[in-house]
Chains A and B, each alone.
Chain A
Amino acid sequence: MTSAIPAKTTTASPAEAGPRLDAGRGNGTKTGRAPKQYSDRTRAERRLGWILAGPAFVIMLLVTLYPILQAIYESLFRFRLTAPDERAFIGLENYLVILSDPVWWSGLWTTVFITVVTVLVELVLGFALALVMHKALKSVRGLLRTAILVPYGIITVVSAFAWFYAFDINSGYVNSWFAWLPGIDENLNWFAQGGTALFVIMASEIWKTTPFISLLLLAGLAQVPDELSEAAKVDGATWWEQMRKVIIPNMKAAIMVAVLFRALDAFRIFDNVFIMTNGAYGTEVLSLLAYRQSISRLEIGLGSAVSVLLFLCVLLICFVAIKLFKVDLAGTQGGR
């Protein structure tokens, strides 16, 4: 597990290498050639690649595209699973109902709030952990990485239950352990108000997924050539200046991948909220809203429309993240 993730991230990191190669630091990766210039051997390899990966690609396309298209189609109907005879085409009415409903907007803001706060905190914590792991002695490095990965290895539902039972007013120990802190006492019911409930939900999310982000950042950190920071050191740059002007700019693509992956994950948060509050008292998030419409209410049309909107939000996040970081991931494919 520990070795698998850095390996995975290094496959992503040629993306990061792209801009640096253009800056004249070419280190052997062959990019930027037009297809007609490929040698016979390269063409044969590409063909083999398609033959090997093609079937999986087609199957993936089918299993991903089919439900998306089905959801878009279903979202145009008023259709309740337990009233099959009343199915009717209503065009975009479901979308109008959703977008004019404060429930959707409050769910959206809650989701955005959870996403922004958790990703920011995880980024800072994850970077600190990555620095520690990067600088750690070789002898303890493996152990350190494994230890940091433990929370990430726990199934989300299990960790959600663990956090729930720890903070629950009946079974929890947090209130008695931390009663010395201002604002916490024996009678604090964490899950009875939106603020404290969201705090626990976000804390458990951060605890669980910071390791993931730190490993992605560690891979990015390892990509930064030592000569760069050494040169900066010789020029008299402080630690902070090295970070700001040399290391972080050179890890931009790794940071983007980390932020994007985590933001998408956080935006689709479900398990933690479902277990701890089931959306009660202002903790409703969008995926729970979609679940409630399609699974609990069996309103396939309305639920599909919520899911489609959720999907569009996810697409928007991808688009914004890629634009914001100005990283061209296509550059890795070679000169497109």
Chain B
Amino acid sequence: MPNSRRTRSAVRNRPGGTVLAGLVMGTLVMSGCGPAQADNSLTWYINPDAGGQAAIAQKCSDESGGRYSIETSLLPNDAASQREQLARRLAAGDASLDIMSLDPPFIPELAEPGFLAPVPEDVAEATTENVVEGAIAGATWKDELVTVPFWANTQILWYRKSVAEAAGLDMSGPVTWEQVMEAARTQEKTLGVQGAQAESMTVWLNALIESAGGSIIVDPEATAETVELGLDSDAGIAAAEVISTIGKDGLGGPGLPTQDENASLIGFQGDSGSFMVNWPFVYPATVGAVEAGTLDQAVIDDIGWGIYPRMTEDQEAAPPLGGINLGVGASSDNPELAYEAIQCIVSVENQSEYFVTNGNPPANTEAYEDPRIEESFPMAETIRDSLQVAAPRPQTPFYNEVSTGIQQRWAPPAAVDPDSTPQSSSDFITSVLRGEQLL
């Protein structure tokens, strides 16, 4: 009896279940193939931040008077994973990539196969006015602006005033790596550099080579077969000497081989902190730690900042350049609307607001004039000056290969040999690019 009741009830329920299944399938099919959103709806793939990009999206949507509405979609945490996801979606012709927050070094790789919608001339003109040179260089591929600079980032030299004073270093002007290393050595403190086998190693090496007047890639537009690397050069050897000395002399501390930007910051905040090269996020992070009670106010009071160290006294430093540019997917259904929205997103006002609320520096120099910036970021002027001289990482479609190759051969710092590493890493990367070796 219970069996037959169950059977009857199952039979009775079947039409309802079928309808439900049909509806679910229908919804799934529609969301995959049909227009799931209104025609003026744009999707902005953003990198994780403190909510600033979502706020700008909302603000621009409101200001557009209904012409478009921007919805944000969050990308993974690190830049490499963001690139992986975007590249795969772009290669598959995903039409939802209306606006994308892109890390500059990965832009050539996406621009070369035509994955990015061309920037209209009027947009290019309007969005590059008063923008720092490095950010424009990072947004350009083959002399053409392929993305729009949004915010720019740079590394500066952070130091503990007490240590610099004890070492007798005059921090009012530029300092060299040699001076910084010597100060750490005599004061028995550790230097905050990024020695991990990670992209931060490429950032560091690129800055050292550029500061010494060289370049990791001689001709960025060359093909994989013809590309020529500048690692095995005087600048490359000079860079190897700095990295090797810091590694072999233990100036980076025992954590150096696994140290990334966050680990450097923790070390710098500790008792052994002396000098550190790092992005501006360290300031809001340190202020936050003091407010949370995990760090003394004395640490903040002891922190000073200046331009990235030089390789030689008479040659200006070329600090690392980062930031985010905005691109439009070639398969987007609404490229015109997307560029209209981008113009709103990168407005001077929004860039200032984003700096104040999220700590990411504007690419537009005009945006630094906002009085709130000086209040929240006393080092804003140093950041702006640094951006003016900063050098982008190699702009090549093969950046990922070049960067991974560098990471594998230039880490750990103690294993770097100025006599052999520049040449062996150059040979290695060249053969990887020619498809003769695994990476």
Total chain B interface residues with beta-carbon distance under 8 A: 32
Tell me the smallest distance from the CB of A94 to a CB of chain B, in Å: 9
Against A, the Cβ 8 Å flags (1 = close, 0 = not) of B389-410 are 0000000010011001000000
- Contact for B112 among A82, A168, A278, A281, CB less than 8 A: A82
Against A, the Cβ 8 Å flags (1 = close, 0 = not) of B421-438 are 000000000000001111
Q: Is B266 an interface residue (CB 8 A)?
A: yes
Beta-carbon contact of B258 and A82 below 8 Å: no
Q: How far is the CA of A78 from the CA of B87 in the complex (A)?
A: 18
Q: How far is the CA of A78 from the CA of B401 in the complex (A)?
A: 16
Residues of A within 8 A of B88 (CB): 81, 298
Beta-carbon contact of B438 and A293 below 8 Å: yes
Also in contact, A98 and B438, with CB within 8 A (given A83-B112, A169-B255, A298-B87): yes
Also in contact, A81 and B80, with CB within 8 A (given A97-B437, A280-B197): no
Beta-carbon contact of B263 and A296 below 8 Å: no
Against A, the Cβ 8 Å flags (1 = close, 0 = not) of B264-284 are 001100000000000000000
Beta-carbon contact of B258 and A192 below 8 Å: yes
Residues of B within 8 A of A295 (CB): 84
Beta-carbon contact of B266 and A103 below 8 Å: no
Within 8 A of B (CB), among A70-107: 78, 81-85, 97-98, 101, 103-104
Q: Is A313 an interface residue (CB 8 A)?
A: no
**Chain A residue with the shortest CB-CB distance to B263:** A170
**Chain A residue with the shortest CB-CB distance to B270:** A170
Beta-carbon contact of B266 and A170 below 8 Å: yes
Q: How far is the CA of A323 from the CA of B436 in the complex (A)?
A: 37
Q: Is A191 an interface residue (CB 8 A)?
A: yes
Tell me the smallest distance from the CB of A102 to a CB of chain B, in Å: 9
Beta-carbon contact of A297 and B439 below 8 Å: yes
- Contact for A191 among B80, B258, B437, CB less than 8 A: B258
Residues of A within 8 A of B401 (CB): 297
- Indicate the size class of the contact surface on chain A: 20 to 34
Residues of A within 8 A of B400 (CB): 296-298
Q: Is B65 an interface residue (CB 8 A)?
A: no
Tell me the smallest distance from the CB of B311 to a CB of chain A, in Å: 27
Beta-carbon contact of B115 and A82 below 8 Å: yes
Residues of B within 8 A of A78 (CB): 435
Beta-carbon contact of A103 and B197 below 8 Å: no
Residues of B within 8 A of A280 (CB): 196-197, 258, 411
Also in contact, A292 and B113, with CB within 8 A (given A192-B257, A278-B197): no
**Chain B residue with the shortest CB-CB distance to A192:** B257
Residues of B within 8 A of A289 (CB): 438
Beta-carbon contact of B258 and A85 below 8 Å: no
A78-B435, A281-B197 are known contacts; what are 8 more A-B pairs with Cβ within 8 Å? A81-B88, A85-B113, A192-B258, A278-B198, A281-B412, A293-B439, A296-B400, A297-B404
Pairs A-B, 7 closest by C-beta atoms: A192-B257, A280-B197, A187-B254, A103-B438, A169-B255, A81-B91, A101-B438
